[in-house]
Chains A and B, each alone.
Chain A
Amino acid sequence: MRIERELMRGAGPVAVMRLLEGGEKYGYELVQLLDRQSQGVLAMGQSTLYPLLYNLQAKGLVAARVETADNRRPRKYYRLTDKGKRQLARDRKQWQALSAAMGKLGLIGG
């Protein structure tokens, strides 16, 4: 199922921050996790993922470090900052409220 762009614009950063909550991850790892954990619903083109990560970085919500792997190829790892954690907590509440409201309207849930 393909999610509308506007919906994805709101959900994408929260989903990425949620994945980073579990520890630092590199770009392709995030691509795979998004695809797998959302059963493909939140799978986003990587052309969207990397700008999204750079934007989160610009806002100070995630930080990055470059580590050279065994094959001497530099790889960039992203992690959630304290500010990012606070933002994620706020976003989580909002999504829960939204989800509950949609449930009451009969849009989601049983």
Chain B
Amino acid sequence: MAETVQGGLVYKLRYTPLRDLLRGRLSARLDLRRQIDAAEISVPAKSLIQRLVKATKLWDIEKIAVVDELIAHFADADAAGKSIDAAIAAFGDERTAARLIARAKRRNRGAAWQIFRGVRFLTVALVAFYILLGIVFFAGKPSPRTDSFAILNRRSIQTPLAQRAWPIYRRALLAMPDRNGSLFVGSVQQAPIDAEPGGADWPALVEWLRAHRAAIDLIQQGSEKPVLGYMHGQGVSLEDAAVFPGAPPASGEPLIINAFTGYIRELMIVASVEAADMRLAVAEGNTAAAMRGFHAQLGIADQLQAEPFYVSQIIALSIRRVAVHHADRWIATHPQMLGDDDLQALAHRLAEPDNATDLLRFAASQRIMFNDLIQHM
């Protein structure tokens, strides 16, 4: 428009579109009211246009295009000799017009805006979806259909009692009531139970080992069993209550994530005892006893490895590492104790398992735990 724009700088800046500003023009052409007021059309037509463009909620630059078009429309109707009432009647419902014009104008917007709108819609839809999920989650009641503990215990149940290690370990543990005493307190591999021959704690350890020979023999018997046979539960069984005097009682919904895992710590203790007994046997030159201690440690590791928890797999690896370390040192420091048959037996035992991945087999049980968690939600 060539006409001089009235008003101060602030007014002009407020109503000038950015594209005009960038071209150095202060057009102030976004002032809809001024544009409508200046139009040579009837007042009812002006009112209609004003209401309609306001209802579109479009951008000002879009509104002004609609205003120009509608002003031209009513001016053309007037020029064609149509009365203002007839022109307004022929125009139709202004609300419908506003809605349709707004929708059509938005379709004409650029790709960036369309993408932004799509992203915004998706975000809102996602938030709504999550709110819905939240409502379902908090309003619903869990209806577990699978007894996940039964799945975890299936192998133990299917194994005859005589082939289960845990009942024997239980007896061994009860025969070591002082297993939580000072001998077993200390950081990893630094407790008196880990003492080496010649060390300050060694005499006390040797005395303890001799005093608990029956328990050590029981551990070795248990380590020869194919299955650990510990019965998993949210709390501890009646049989195990004496082993775990402070254990939490079973209560509420049995969730695997709440399963009692205190038995893993007890197995760490019995493995430490076997390692200590192996050191004593080596120090005394008793090959058969040292070999029994070595096999007992690996037997415990194998049993723990078949347990469902990630932590049990890690502890099993740790026990295996200690056993291998003891065997390694034994061969290096006391080679005269080992004949060909002993070395062959060690080699065969150390060759197991065939694959390193067999050392970590918790994926299936983790799936059971995950499913159990889901079914309790």
- Chain A positions within 8 Å of B, measured between CB atoms, are 26-29, 31-32, 45-48, 50-55, 57-58, 66, 68, 71-76
In this complex, the interface size class of chain B, counting residues with CB under 8 Å from chain A, is 20 to 34
B107 within 8 A of A: yes
Would A26 and B101 count as touching, CB distance under 8 A? no
Which residue of B has the minimal Cβ distance to A51? B100
Would B104 and A51 count as touching, CB distance under 8 A? yes
B371 within 8 A of A: no
B45-83 interface code vs A (CB 8 A; 1 in, 0 out): 000000000000000000001101111110111001000
Contacting residues, chain B, for A57 (C-beta < 8 A): 104, 108
From A26, A48, A73, B71 is in contact (CB under 8 Å) with: A73
From B1, B68, B80, A32 is in contact (CB under 8 Å) with: B80
The distance in angstroms between the C-alpha atoms of A29 and B73, with both chains bound, is: 9
B92 within 8 A of A: yes
Nearest 10 CB-CB pairings of A with B = A45-B92, A47-B97, A54-B104, A47-B92, A51-B100, A28-B76, A58-B107, A51-B104, A58-B108, A75-B72
Would A66 and B107 count as touching, CB distance under 8 A? no
Closest beta carbon of chain A to B234's beta carbon, Å: 63
Main secondary structure of the interface of B (DSSP, over half): helix
Contacting residues, chain A, for B103 (C-beta < 8 A): 51
The distance in angstroms between the C-alpha atoms of A26 and B73, with both chains bound, is: 9
Q: Which of A27, A51, A55, A76 has the most CB of B within 10 A?
A: A51
Contacting residues, chain A, for B96 (C-beta < 8 A): 47-48
Would A54 and B92 count as touching, CB distance under 8 A? no
Contacting residues, chain B, for A72 (C-beta < 8 A): 1-3
Would B72 and A26 count as touching, CB distance under 8 A? yes
Which residue of A has the minimal Cβ distance to B74? A28
Given that A47-B91, A51-B97 are known contacts, is A73 also in contact with B107, CB under 8 Å in the complex?
Answer: no
Would B104 and A47 count as touching, CB distance under 8 A? no
The distance in angstroms between the C-alpha atoms of A29 and B2, with both chains bound, is: 26
The distance in angstroms between the C-alpha atoms of A46 and B77, with both chains bound, is: 11
Would B68 and A66 count as touching, CB distance under 8 A? yes
Would B93 and A54 count as touching, CB distance under 8 A? no
9 additional A-B pairs beyond A27-B76, A47-B96, A47-B100, beta carbons within 8 Å, are: A27-B69, A27-B73, A47-B94, A47-B97, A50-B70, A51-B101, A53-B104, A73-B40, A73-B72
The distance in angstroms between the C-alpha atoms of A76 and B76, with both chains bound, is: 12
Contacting residues, chain B, for A50 (C-beta < 8 A): 66, 69-70, 73, 97, 100-101, 104
Would A73 and B75 count as touching, CB distance under 8 A? yes
Would B91 and A76 count as touching, CB distance under 8 A? no
Contacting residues, chain B, for A68 (C-beta < 8 A): 1
Q: Which of A26, A47, A75 has the most CB of B within 10 A?
A: A47
Would B101 and A28 count as touching, CB distance under 8 A? no
The distance in angstroms between the C-alpha atoms of A57 and B66, with both chains bound, is: 14
B30-56 interface code vs A (CB 8 A; 1 in, 0 out): 000000000110000000000000000
Would A46 and B91 count as touching, CB distance under 8 A? yes
Contacting residues, chain A, for B80 (C-beta < 8 A): 28, 32
Which residue of A has the minimal Cβ distance to B96? A47
B361 within 8 A of A: no
Would A74 and B72 count as touching, CB distance under 8 A? yes
Would A46 and B107 count as touching, CB distance under 8 A? no
The distance in angstroms between the C-alpha atoms of A75 and B107, with both chains bound, is: 21
Contacting residues, chain B, for A29 (C-beta < 8 A): 76
B105 within 8 A of A: yes
The distance in angstroms between the C-alpha atoms of A31 and B76, with both chains bound, is: 11
The distance in angstroms between the C-alpha atoms of A28 and B104, with both chains bound, is: 18
Closest beta carbon of chain A to B218's beta carbon, Å: 85
The distance in angstroms between the C-alpha atoms of A75 and B72, with both chains bound, is: 6
From B39, B93, B105, A47 is in contact (CB under 8 Å) with: B93
Would A46 and B108 count as touching, CB distance under 8 A? no
B11-27 interface code vs A (CB 8 A; 1 in, 0 out): 00000000000000000
B90 within 8 A of A: yes
Given that A47-B97, A51-B101, A51-B103 are known contacts, is A28 also in contact with B72, CB under 8 Å in the complex?
Answer: yes
Contacting residues, chain B, for A26 (C-beta < 8 A): 72, 76
The distance in angstroms between the C-alpha atoms of A75 and B39, with both chains bound, is: 13
Would A54 and B105 count as touching, CB distance under 8 A? yes
